[in-house]
Amino acid sequence: MTDDTDETNEDDVVAPSAASVRPLAQLTQVFKTYQMDSVEVPVIKGVDILVRHAKFTVLLGPSGSGKTTLLNMLGCIDKPDKGEIVVAEARVAEMADDDLSDFRAKNIGFIFQNFNLLPVLSAYENIEYPLLLAGATPSQRGKLIPRLLKAVGLADKAKNLPGQLSGGQRQRVAIARALARKPKLVIADEPTANLDSHTGATILALMRRMVDEYAISFIFSSHDPEVIKAADDTIVLKDGMIQEVWRDGEKVES
């Protein structure tokens, strides 16, 4: 113990992987099986996922690999048969249904492939809807909604109904709506699948900007390997199992 070189070095040694991984959500050994005509079909087969705080995560996998099933569990729409799910420090897999819908409304924003806008409401009113449910005052709504519309580049489309908007514009409304309640986590299930590639790329860039500006965690699924370019983290799913995980361009798991 005469050589103190190692000791000196120890002060400089930080664990970069541990320091940079701040989880917002975590799935641990999650399993899900569907029942089809008395046959059990395992769909998620022991999955571990870590969604980092204020990062952009892509869940990449072919159709049928289990992306929607996983995102629904992460988003507290569905529960696992087995395993633990923690979102914003809450153990959601064990929560009662009433508590879960409150928790979901406060903490999670959703963006769907087919936009899921209410067709009889304008762009403005679609964004307003979750705020009304949350009991936001008229003055809060009046301040926030124009800001959100502006952030997604739709300041001049406030009065348009979804039918009077393009696919890309509808998805922008859906993004603004998902952000309205300042969620900690935004989940988007193949948000670019129904858009042409140029519009899809614009929507990706917008979501990327929202992650950085609002410091939210964003996870979105896709079967298009092109989308990896926009992501901090990539989780590759195959047949209900994690195949690879990439963080900041480095492979961390296989």
- CA separation for the pair 81, 84 (Å, rounded): 10
DSSP character at residue 91: E
Give the pairing type, strands 23-36 and 39-52: antiparallel
Q: Are 144 and 136 in contact (CB under 8 A)?
A: yes
Residues 19-58 that bind ligand ADP (CB under 6 A): 34, 36, 41, 43
- CA separation for the pair 217, 232 (Å, rounded): 11
63: its two tokens = 């159709």
Binding site partner of 34, from ligand ADP, Mg ion, none, Cβ cut-off 5-8 A by kind: ligand ADP
Least distance in angstroms from the C-beta of 94 to ligand ADP: 22
- Give whichever of 128 and 190 is closer to Mg ion, judged by the CB atom: 190
**Counting contacts by CB under 6 A, is residue 171 touching ligand ADP?**
no
Residues in the chain: 254
Q: Which of 27, 51, 69, 104 binds ligand ADP (CB under 6 A)?
A: 69
Least distance in angstroms from the C-beta of 37 to ligand ADP: 10
- CA separation for the pair 56, 186 (Å, rounded): 10
Q: Which of 65, 68, 171, 192 binds Mg ion (CB under 5 A)?
A: 68
**Counting contacts by CB under 6 A, is residue 200 touching ligand ADP?**
no
| Residues within the interface to ligand ADP (CB under 6 A) | 34, 36, 41, 43, 61, 63-69
Which residues in this chain contact Mg ion in the complex, by CB under 5 A?
67-68
